[in-house]
């Protein structure tokens, strides 16, 4: 069990999946920079994170709910949590709003799974599904919170905790993702790519 002093932000998990170095720069060096993608996300979340709730029929919608898990040592905030009354009992589903579209990697799913794990601990319940609403495609995607995703999420939590606790800034490996990263100018992934740099130096001095 962890204390509040040990908590890491759920957002760090998404940063780690996208790029471990990005995670280190943000959550160890406290570096941040805005670009078009982060600004779009901020605008969307300003509309969602309102700390309000409403009830319609058998569904109660809570916005901006603060969550945590002492077992995993994580904390964050849900865009929306839906509570539905059914014949089988109450069903709880976290809903995350994204300005873009579904990702090829698991960064969004890990974030949503971490929210579900927190809600399960706080409310002593089981959550089988979560949902995303993607602004670019204007529809809801529902995902299953299965055992594989839970294991992946807990492994990533452990990896992020090691980076933060040991104050590690992972090395960079330039890829196409770097062009969309708001920290590209700070990170300098091309300049930091030691393998390519060593190859370049070797080529300079090779007859």
Domain ranges of the chain: 4-171
Share of the chain above pLDDT 90, in %: 52
Residue 7 pLDDT > 70: yes
Q: What is the mean pLDDT of residues 174-185?
A: 78
Share of the chain above pLDDT 70, in %: 82
Q: What is the mean pLDDT of residues 152-156?
A: 98
Q: What is the mean pLDDT of residues 144-157?
A: 98
Provide the pLDDT for residue 177: 80
Provide the pLDDT for residue 14: 94
Provide the pLDDT for residue 163: 95
Q: Which of 34-43, 45-54, 166-175, 189-198 has the lowest mean pLDDT?
A: 34-43
**Is 68 within 8 Å of 74 (Cβ atoms)?**
yes
Among residues 95, 64, 98, the alpha carbon closest in space to that of 82 is found at: 95
| CA torsion through residues 190, 196, 198, 202, sign | negative
Residue 179 pLDDT > 80: no
pLDDT band at 83 (very low <50, low <70, confident <90, very high): very high
CA atoms within 13 A on the CB side of 14: 16
pLDDT band at 37 (very low <50, low <70, confident <90, very high): very low
> Tokens 């040990």 sit at which residue?
6
pLDDT band at 36 (very low <50, low <70, confident <90, very high): very low
| CA torsion through residues 74, 79, 83, 84, sign | negative
Supply the DSSP symbol for 28: T
Of the candidate CATH numbers 3.90.320.10, 3.20.10.10, 1.10.3720.10, 3.40.50.2300, the domain formed by 4-171 belongs to 3.90.320.10
Among residues 106, 107, 69, 77, the alpha carbon closest in space to that of 94 is found at: 77
Neighbours of 144 (CB within 10 A): 12
Whole-model pTM: value is 0.80
Q: Which residues contact 155 (CB under 8 A, 6 or more apart)?
A: none
Burial 112-136 (b: 16+ CB within 10 A, else e): bbbbbbbbbeeeeeebeebbbbbee
Residue 192 pLDDT > 90: no
Residue 38 pLDDT > 70: no
Residue 43 pLDDT > 70: no
Q: Which residues contact 101 (CB under 8 A, 6 or more apart)?
A: 134, 136, 137
> Tokens 């390519």 sit at which residue?
196
């Amino acid at each position: 069990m962890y204390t509040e002093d040990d908590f890491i932000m759920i957002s760090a998990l998404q940063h780690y999946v996208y790029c471990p170095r990005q995670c280190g720069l943000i959550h160890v060096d406290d570096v941040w920079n805005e670009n078009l993608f982060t600004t779009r996300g901020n605008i969307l979340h300003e509309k969602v994170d309102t700390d309000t709730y409403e009830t319609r029929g058998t569904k109660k919608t809570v916005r901006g709910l603060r969550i945590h898990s002492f077992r995993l040592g994580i904390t964050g905030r849900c865009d929306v949590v839906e509570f539905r009354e059914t014949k089988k009992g109450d069903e709880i589903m976290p809903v995350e709003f994204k300005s873009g579209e579904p990702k090829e990697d698991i960064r969004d799913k890990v974030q949503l799974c971490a929210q579900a794990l927190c809600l399960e601990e706080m409310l002593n319940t089981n959550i089988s599904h979560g949902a995303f609403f993607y602004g670019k495609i204007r529809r809801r995607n529902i995902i299953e919170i299965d055992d594989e995703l839970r294991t992946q999420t807990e492994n990533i939590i452990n990896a992020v905790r090691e980076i933060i606790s040991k104050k590690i800034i992972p090395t960079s490996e330039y890829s196409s993702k770097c062009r969309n990263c708001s920290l590209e100018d700070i990170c300098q992934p091309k300049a930091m790519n030691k393998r390519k740099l060593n190859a370049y130096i070797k080529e300079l001095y090779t007859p």
